[in-house]
Amino acid sequence: MTNFRRQFNDLAKYGLIAAWLLYAANPALAGNATADLQQSVIPNDDVAPLELLGATIMPGTTQRLSWSATELFEGVPVSTPVLVVNGASPGPTLCLTAAIHGDELNGIEIVRRVLHEIDPEKLSGTIIGVPIVNVQGFRRGSRYLPDRRDLNRYFPGNSNGSAASRIAHSFFTHIIEKCDALIDLHTGSFERSNLPQIRADLRDPDIVTLTQGFGSMVVVHSAPTDGTLRDAATRAGIPTVTLEAGGPLQLELNEVTHGVKGIETLISTLGMIRKIGLWGDPGPVYYRSSWVRVNNGGILLADVSLGSTVRQGDLLGTITDPMSNASTELRSPYSGRIIGMARNQVVMPGFAAFHIGIQSNAISTDTIDDAIPGLSHDESDEHVGGMSE
Ligand SMILES: [Zn+2]
């Protein structure tokens, strides 16, 4: 998918040329007004209306559309809003999707905030936001579709398949295929919470390019699971990352704010909006990661919090047997940072409790668990019991 990378590189290149020209003309102006020239470098004369879901969205306007997969369960169409900001100037189409799992609320608010803060007159390119993809799950406060299927295992879908597969197919063909790049928003699942982070397949150079636009975000290498939207979109040539923030069934303002900041930085890095002081932003921090599992059942109480830095041997939490009152300590096998963790709860032996990120100096696609003999791929890194994405 060189199209996106070419656009990205062009925008970066034009930005540099524009900054250099501006600096040559008047050094005092450089640094805070480069976007004007950057905009003028991009030709304005091939701005086209966007055709989406049967509607025509003119450049420089915002529209609220609705998408509904046909043939739904009770024969009653269930529609979900699709927010479109079509910029006055040309540029890439960036898509944001949230609540493919209906109980993941933070992403809904992140999409709302990002879309409603953008002025179409000042935008180069298009942003398409779908805050609630799984509207049926959302209404029931459930991760799943009404037939207990996980929608995020059925992409790109099939028009003759199961209900989940048909919904996935409709969504993929009507919306996702219009995107040049995609951010799919999720939270932890099953009583677990994630530090705001980007999950990305760092073996793909286009996706690495995309991760570099988010500013100072935690980036964790993760090969996509089959059937996820990230997997299908990437296979279709659309560079895609997952943005994880917080846990399910809650609206967490710190996580929402962090996610909005990361996406707005990306929009700015892509040259889609102007932002003063952009070039001073620090880059992403790359992590390898591994889950720490409990070996005893009981009540898990954590001694660390999300984002904590831990050293090898530090206490992560205790597991207490409510009958015998016997308590065991869970200590970190690694030095690193807590990038995901379980809420306090009753656990069984083998439960994945703490996700430790280990900062790497270079972009690395190794997983730490590769060293554990006999562990299948599904048990390694973040693929823990249907975790998150
Ligand atoms: Zn999810």
d(CA 234, CA 229): 8
Q: How far is the CA of 265 from the centre of ligand 1 (A)?
A: 23
Q: How far is the CA of 386 from the centre of ligand 1 (A)?
A: 9
Q: How far is the CA of 154 from the centre of ligand 1 (A)?
A: 13
Q: What is the pLDDT of residues 111-168, one digit of tens each?
A: 999 999 999 999 999 999 999 999 999 999 999 998 899 999 999 999 999 989 999 9
Q: How far is the CA of 52 from the centre of ligand 1 (A)?
A: 26
Q: How far is the CA of 102 from the centre of ligand 1 (A)?
A: 8
Q: Are 291 and 352 spatial neighbours (Cβ–Cβ below 8 Å)?
A: yes
Report the first-to-last Cα separation within the chain, whole angstroms: 23
Per-domain boundaries in the chain: 46-280, 288-379
66 or 360: which leads in pLDDT: 66
**Topology annotation, domain 288-379:** OB fold (Dihydrolipoamide Acetyltransferase, E2P) (2.40.50)
Q: How far is the CA of 189 from the centre of ligand 1 (A)?
A: 7
Q: How far is the CA of 389 from the centre of ligand 1 (A)?
A: 4
Q: How far is the CA of 388 from the centre of ligand 1 (A)?
A: 5
Q: What is the pLDDT of residues 209-227, one digit of tens each?
A: 999 999 889 999 999 999 9
pLDDT at 44 over 60: no
Task: Report the pLDDT averaged over residues 285-308.
Answer: 93
Q: How far is the CA of 276 from the centre of ligand 1 (A)?
A: 33
Q: How far is the CA of 191 from the centre of ligand 1 (A)?
A: 12
Q: How far is the CA of 363 from the centre of ligand 1 (A)?
A: 25
Q: How far is the CA of 99 from the centre of ligand 1 (A)?
A: 7
Query: Quick one: pLDDT at residue 46?
Result: 65
Q: What mean pLDDT, rounded, does the chain reach?
A: 84
DSSP states along 310-375: E-TT-EEEEEE-TTT--EEEEE-SS-EEEEEEEPSEEE-TT-EEEEEEEE-SS-----GGGGSTT-
Q: How far is the CA of 247 from the centre of ligand 1 (A)?
A: 9
Tokens read off for 365: 């696609």
Instruction: Name the least confident of 45-54, 246-255, 258-267, 285-294.
Output: 45-54
Q: How far is the CA of 326 from the centre of ligand 1 (A)?
A: 35
Tokens 């009152």 belong to 325
Query: Quick one: pLDDT at residue 275?
Result: 72
**pTM (two decimals):** 0.84
User: Which superfamily is assigned to 46-280 in CATH?
Assistant: Zn peptidases (3.40.630.10)
SS3 206: helix
Query: Quick one: pLDDT at residue 7?
Result: 58
Q: How far is the CA of 38 from the centre of ligand 1 (A)?
A: 37
